Amino acid sequence: MRLFEAHGALGGVWTNSLLGYLLDFDKPGFNQELVRRLRERDAINGEGMNGLSYQPEEMKVLLEELCADAGVQVQLHTRVTAAQREGRVLRTILTESKSGRQAWRAPVFIDTTGDGDLGAQAGCEFEIGKDAACPCQPMTMYALLVVKDVSALAGLMHAVGNNGQQVGPKTFRDELARAGVKPSYGAACMFPIHGNLVLLMANHEYGINATDAAQVTEATLRARSEVHRIVRALRTLGGPWEGVQIAATPEQIGIRDGRRIKGRYFMTSEDLVTGKRQADAVARATFPVDIHALTAEENKKTPYHGAGVRTQPYDIPLRALIARDVDGLMMAGRCISGDFIAHASYRVTGNAVAMGEAAGATAALAANNKAAPHDVPWSAVQAAIAKMRS
C-alpha cells in the first residue's frame, strides 16, 4: 500500500494545520487505539474519548511509526495532480514532486485529500460549499502559544462548565478587548494542549475557495499576520501574558470545506434529523451541525451555528465512501458524499478515522479479489474490520 502526502507530515489538519482537538472519538477500533497510544506518550489532555486535546508533534511521529509498522510506503512532499481512466475504471494517478512527474497504477485508490482532488481529477461529479458559487465555511489559522503559567489563564480557556454550557470564550473575548484587538472570528478561544502550551483559535478567512491556490495563499498571509498581531497585543497586557510566544503557526491554513465527491449514497440533513440507520454503517456520528459564519457580516451576529438542525446519532454508510461515477475509487474524510449541512457534522476527525479504517479494509478486499469496491459484500468488510480490531 502506498500513501502520498503533499506536505511534510502525515495527519492532515491534525498536524499540518495544528488542530489540537479530537471530536466524536467515542467509537470502537482505530479511534480507541489512537487515543490509547497518545495517552501512553502523555500526549493527551482531557478525560474520556470526546473533546480531547493532543500534542500535534506527538501525533506526527506516532502516525509515521504506525505506517512503518503496517508496511505502508509513504511518500511525502508529493501531490496527486491527475488521473487516468479506462472507461469507468480509474487505473493510474499522476503525482508531482522533486522526483518530477510519476505515474502509479493500482487496483483501487482512496481519495483522502480533504478537498476531493483525486475524485475531481478522475471526472466525478462533486459539490462544493453551500451552493455552486461556493460560499464555503471560513478557513482558520490556529497558533500554538507558549505561556508563562497556564494555570493563571485557566478562567480564559475553552471548557465545559458544570451545567454543560461551554465557558471560556466570553472571558477570553473580554481579555482580547482589553488588549485592543477584535479578531476576525467572533468566538475566539484557547484550548489547553500540554503544560504551558495552548492553542489559539481566533481567525476566520471568509469566502475562500479551497481549490484556488491564489485565494488560499492570500488568506494564509492575511491570517498569519492577524494571529501575530493578536499575540503581540496580548503580550502588552503583561501579567499572565508576559513573554507569551508563538511556538508555531501551521504551514497549511485549516480548510473546513472543500469538494464533496458524489458517491453511491448521498448523505443529507434529513439523515441527521431522523438519526438514520444504515445496513452498511462504518460509523455512528454524534457531532452536531457546526457551520461557521460564511461572511464577516454574519460573524458579527453569529460566529457559528447549527442551522437549526437537531441532530440525532446517525450512521455513515460505506456507500457514501464509494465513488458513483468512477469505479475503483473510494473516498474517506471530509470529501465523502453528502450535502453542505450533513458535511458540517460528519467532517470531524473521529468520523474521518472510522471512514479511513473502513475504506482501507474495503480497498484491500477489492484488490485481493480483483473486484470493484462496490462489489465487495458488506459482510466481508465487517469481518475484515473485526479481524483488524482483534
Judged by the rule CB under 6 A, the positions of this chain that interact with ligand FAD are: 4-7, 12-13, 16, 19, 21-23, 79-80, 112-115, 117, 140, 254-256, 333-335, 347-349, 352
d(CA 203, CA 143): 10
**Looking at beta carbons only, is 22 or 376 nearer to ligand FAD?**
22
Min dist. Cβ of residue 66 to ligand FAD (A)? 15
Q: How far is the CB of 374 from ligand FAD (least distance, A)?
A: 21
How many Å apart are CA 17 and CA 257, to the nearest integer?
A: 14
Residues 179 and 135: their CA atoms lie apart, in Å, by 32
CA distances from 372 to 106, 107, 125, 266 (A): 12, 8, 19, 19
Q: At what angle do helices 30-40 and 349-368 cross, to 10 degrees?
A: 120
For residue 131, give the amino acid letter.
D
Is 102 or 242 the residue whose CB approaches ligand FAD more closely? 102
Q: Cβ closer to ligand FAD: 256 or 324?
A: 256
**In DSSP terms, which residues pair with 303 in a beta bridge?**
none
- Closest distance of CB 346 from ligand FAD, Å: 9
Please identify, using beta-carbon distances, which residue of 241 and 289 lies nearer to ligand FAD: 289
Spatial CA neighbour of 75 closest among 12, 123, 28, 5: 5
Which residue number has the CB closest to ligand FAD? 333
CB 184, min distance to ligand FAD, A: 12
Q: Which residues contact 323 (CB under 8 A, 6 or more apart)?
A: 111, 119, 122, 124, 261, 262, 263, 264, 329, 330, 331
Residue with cell 482531557: 46
* Min CB(78)–ligand FAD separation in Å: 6
CA 191 to chain centre: 17
Nearer to ligand FAD by Cβ, of 278 and 351: the residue is: 351
CA gap 385, 339 in Å, rounded: 27
Q: How far apart are CA 253 and CA 334, in angstroms?
A: 16
Question: How many Å apart are CA 43 and CA 61, to the nearest integer?
Answer: 11
Give the nearer residue to ligand FAD in terms of CB position, either 109 or 241: 109
CB of residue 128 vs ligand FAD: minimum separation in angstroms? 14
Q: Which is nearer to ligand FAD, 255 or 293 (CB)?
A: 255
Provide, rounded to whole angstroms, the least separation between the CB of residue 255 and ligand FAD: 5
Nearer to ligand FAD by C-beta: 19 or 34? Answer: 19
Contact between residue 350 and residue 25 where contact means Cβ atoms under 8 Å apart: yes
CB of 188 to ligand FAD, least distance (A): 12
What order do you get walking across the sheet with 21-22 strand by strand?
A: 21-22, 52-54, 44-45
CB of 178 to ligand FAD, least distance (A): 25
Comparing CB distances to ligand FAD, the nearer of 80 and 365 is: 80
Report the C-alpha gap between 368 and 348 in whole angstroms. 31
